[in-house]
Structure 1
Amino acid sequence: MKKHIVVLTGAGISAESGIKTFRDADGLWEGHDVMEVASPQGFKANPELVLDFYNQRRRQLNDVKPNQAHKDLADLEADCKVSIITQNVDDLHERAGSSNVLHLHGELRKIRSTENENDIKVWHDDIHLGDMCKKGYQLRPHIVWFGEAVPMIDNAVEICETADILLIIGTSMQVYPAASLMHYAPEQVPVFYIDPKPAMDSNQQITVISEKATDGMEQFLMHLDELY
């Protein structure tokens, strides 16, 4: 039976493709206070600003490509079962060829009704004020904003519980509930953590690789050869 590698990814893996990390040093996201553009309150106060913000992020996907770390993860499927749980809202994992990707925080290329969170559609264009679902409610980005429930978290927990290896790439391990997922992996499962500024130290179970995603994946693949 193929070993099951569960991969938790964050902004760090997409940074090498040119997508900025969620918040830079001054606490802003692309120049905006996060709560202005990533909260229900922000959307209620200024829906046009929020729609424009995500329209720009969506357009940016046309100008970026998966990097080698994304491709390496996709290539792992030849020999292992690979489940990717990502905090990222881009589609770079899918474009690299990964076939099993769960987006915890939503997806830029999907929209949903403001009235029904389950009325979700694939969407590649801009969203404008006045764009409505079939029932006449405003459309919004299919993004989990601050203060909103994370509907896929239970699915993510179930996946982590079946891991043979846990690989964490490019996340600060500070955003909950995503940061709690590593604790659902079975006891004694090898954990590899790739990040240039790691939020944890190596121990008997955890191997920390203090590198950016592409270089870190090279080292992980060498560890994987040693394990199996």
Structure 2
Amino acid sequence: MVVLTGAGISAESGVPTFRGPDGLWGRYRPEELATPEAFARNPLRVWEWYAWRRELIARAEPNPAHQTLAEMEAALPGFLLITQNVDGLHQRAGNRRVVELHGNLWRVRCPRERQVWEDHRVPLPELPPRCPTCGAFLRPDVVWFGEPLPPEEWQHAMEAAREAEIFLVIGTSGIVEPAASLPRLARVHGAYLVEFNLEDTPLTPLMDEIWRGPVSETLPRWWARFQRGK
């Protein structure tokens, strides 16, 4: 079983989504906050936005959908979770077999030395934070607009999609590429596809099974039914 999650699963923990009528990109310009060029122009402004998100996420808790995915991993040896989210809530819920396509907000990276490490301090004592070795401004270890996905993570995700027997699509808009291509790849290779979302997406026509409603309610019900059917 392979799972692809998007912002919709964390929205039920109080983490704002990026798209839709109330999404963050409706209020902020991505090119001013989430590009290498924005960071080069004004690292303080970029970091103020990410510091705000870190503080918001630090108050959030994994919801029943996150917890159900952790239960799935514990029960299914072939389980893999692929996420577009950078909030770390899957790991806090107990998942360990996680492929992070877009990075993680709780890691920082030195652009000069290319070192990466975790930093869970909230609030950060200095903005922008600096590399303790060379003094360069650190950046969040996330994928910004115009940047490629981490090659190892993307390769792992594609291999899993090709091998999946069941592929769950949870809380994703289905429009962010290349992640949105993974369910299509799984479909081509014969996987059974299930979508959990509040509304239809461009991926909906591919699905064998569709669950509408809050994923914190629908995913636990699907998992319980799946276990009874084994």
Cα offset, 1:61, TM superposition: 2.4
1:93 has 2:90 as partner:
yes
Q: Is the 8 A contact 1:17 1:66 kept in 2?
A: yes
Q: Using the alignment, how far apart are the partners of 2:189 and 2:128 within structure 1?
A: 49
Alignment correspondent of 2:142: 143
Cα offset, 1:116, TM superposition: 4.4
Amino acid across the alignment from 1:191: L
Alignment correspondent of 1:111: 108
Mark the runs of 5 or more structure 1 residues left unpaired by the alignment.
Answer: none
Cα offset, 1:130, TM superposition: 5.7
Alignment correspondent of 2:25: 29
The verdict on how the C-alpha distance between 1:12 and 1:74 changes in structure 2, with shifts beyond 3 A counting, is same
TM-score where L is the length of structure 2: 0.88
Q: 1:38 aligns with which of 31, 34, 37?
A: 34
Q: Secondary structure of 2:147's partner? A: coil
Q: Using the alignment, how far apart are the partners of 2:146 and 2:205 within structure 1?
A: 33
Mark the runs of 5 or more structure 2 residues left unpaired by the alignment.
Answer: none
Q: Secondary structure of 1:135's partner? A: coil
Q: Deviations over 1:110-152 (max 9, x none)?
A: 00011244x1101112262361252343211001000001012
Q: Is the 8 A contact 2:163 2:189 kept in 1?
A: no
| Aligned length, in residue pairs | 222
Cα offset, 1:46, TM superposition: 1.5
Q: Deviations over 1:171-206 (max 9, x none)?
A: 011000110111232633111000011214456x62
Q: Is the 8 A contact 2:16 2:23 kept in 1?
A: no
The verdict on how the C-alpha distance between 1:116 and 1:197 changes in structure 2, with shifts beyond 3 A counting, is farther
Q: Is the 8 A contact 1:170 1:212 kept in 2?
A: no
Q: Using the alignment, how far apart are the partners of 2:22 and 2:64 within structure 1?
A: 29
Q: Secondary structure of 2:17's partner? A: coil
1:112-127 to structure 2, matched below 5 A, reads: 112-117=109-114, 119-125=115-121, 126=124
Amino acid across the alignment from 1:162: E
Alignment correspondent of 1:188: 190
TM-score where L is the length of structure 1: 0.89
Q: Using the alignment, how far apart are the partners of 2:139 and 2:111 within structure 1?
A: 6
Amino acid across the alignment from 1:149: P
Amino acid across the alignment from 1:143: V
Q: Is the 8 A contact 2:70 2:95 kept in 1?
A: yes
Q: Is the 8 A contact 1:132 1:139 kept in 2?
A: yes
Identity of aligned residues (%): 37
Alignment correspondent of 2:173: 172
